[in-house]
Amino acid sequence: MMAIVRPLAIRAITLFGVLIAVLVLLVISLGATGFSDDLLNAQVNEELRTFRIAQSQTIKDPAELEKAVALKKTELEQFYGLDKPWWQRLPPQVWRVLTLDLGDARQLRTTEGSTKISDIILERLPNTILLVTTSTIITAIIGLIVGVRMATQVGSRMDRGVSYLAAISNAVPAWWLGILFILVFAFKLDILPAQGMYSNPPPDGRVARWLDLAQHAVLPIFTVVVISIGPTIYSVRTMTMTAAQEDHVLLARAKGLSEGTVTMRHILRVAAPPIVTGLVLGLAASLSGAILTETVFNWRGMGRLTYDAISGTPDEGLIVALTFVFTLLYIVARFILDILYVVLDPRVRF
């Protein structure tokens, strides 16, 4: 037991080091490039513009107005930390994130009005799970069924046909396909809603709201499945093709075992580690959302939150918090994989 626990503990420490390294690189990229100072100065200038317009209604003396604006500017620079260099301002913010104090967003808020980043993420994450994680699970199931079938029939008409479709699926841009589905199913056929998560106004009653939400989720889920199904099928085919041609598989068939038994025990079991790697990492990545798809369909998930955090007036605190959350999801997925490798293949030793 200790032979497994000790290496896993070392791996956990190593993965935590990855989290620290990512946050350090984020601080350097935000600070050394001047991006942090630029976005904060833009925020200060916007607030000063609003302040000047409001004060000009009561202060008629131009000199007094400029004095009030200058005083307000000094207060804002101290509030946003612009009176300090970036290498003094950003590290404390990263430390707060590491202690799970994600802080407040400057512009974005929840539907109930909360500006806490943790509340915003907790509100958006279930929406992404409904959309992208559901699509990932559907894609994984279809990919496993079709990919394994293709691996056992290499070179057949089905194998060639699905390979062509996989290449097309991989090449289609998500935003273009989403817009196409909106034009066809929402405007031309008028059978599905175009955007949003609920009708306007939303229906009353929990069941009615769930049905309305499910109807709005059909097009974005369909879009994500279509663009990801091809690469998933081809990846599973490639990973299982070698295992399907091994001697032990031919021997199992020669013994008269059913095709289902051969597939489960002699093909999938051998090819399980790389397949599970793709599935687990794909599932973890899905929790970060699909930026283009959620933006096209105006879906309030993690992808749209990321887009809102970096577009317009970027929110520095929200960018740092999202980077921390996405990196943490990846690290947890990697650690789960390390455990699954030992479970799936007892021959694996660290």
What local confidence, expressed as pLDDT, does residue 291 receive? 82
Q: 80 and 59 in contact (C-beta within 8 Å)?
A: no
Higher pLDDT, 219 or 31: 219
In this prediction, residues 91-118 reach a mean pLDDT of 78
What local confidence, expressed as pLDDT, does residue 312 receive? 65
Res. 121 pLDDT band, cuts 50 70 90: confident
How many C-alpha atoms does 27 have within 13 Å on its Cβ side?
Answer: 18
- φ/ψ of 342, rounded to 5, equals -70, -40
346 has pLDDT over 70: no
What local confidence, expressed as pLDDT, does residue 1 receive? 58
In this prediction, residues 45-57 reach a mean pLDDT of 82
Residue from 165, 172, 163 nearest 223 by CA: 172
Distances (CA, A) of 280 to 41, 133, 182, 340: 41, 11, 30, 10
82-104 tens-digit pLDDT: 778 877 777 777 777 777 777 77
Size (the chain), residues: 350
225 has pLDDT over 80: yes
Higher pLDDT, 1 or 249: 249
Pair of tokens at residue 225: 């499945």
What local confidence, expressed as pLDDT, does residue 304 receive? 86
In this prediction, residues 166-184 reach a mean pLDDT of 85
In this prediction, residues 223-232 reach a mean pLDDT of 86
Task: Map out the domains of the chain as residue ranges.
Answer: 2-98, 122-314
Pair of tokens at residue 246: 């091994």
> Percent of the chain at pLDDT above 70?
95
What local confidence, expressed as pLDDT, does residue 183 receive? 92
Question: Which single residue is written with the structure tokens 């350097």?
Answer: 28
What local confidence, expressed as pLDDT, does residue 233 receive? 84
In this prediction, residues 303-315 reach a mean pLDDT of 79
Which CATH number describes the domain made up of 122-314? 1.10.3720.10
Residues 241 and 248: their CA atoms lie apart, in Å, by: 14
Q: How high does pLDDT run on average in the chain?
A: 80
Res. 242 pLDDT band, cuts 50 70 90: confident
Res. 74 pLDDT band, cuts 50 70 90: confident
Residues 300 and 123: their CA atoms lie apart, in Å, by: 9
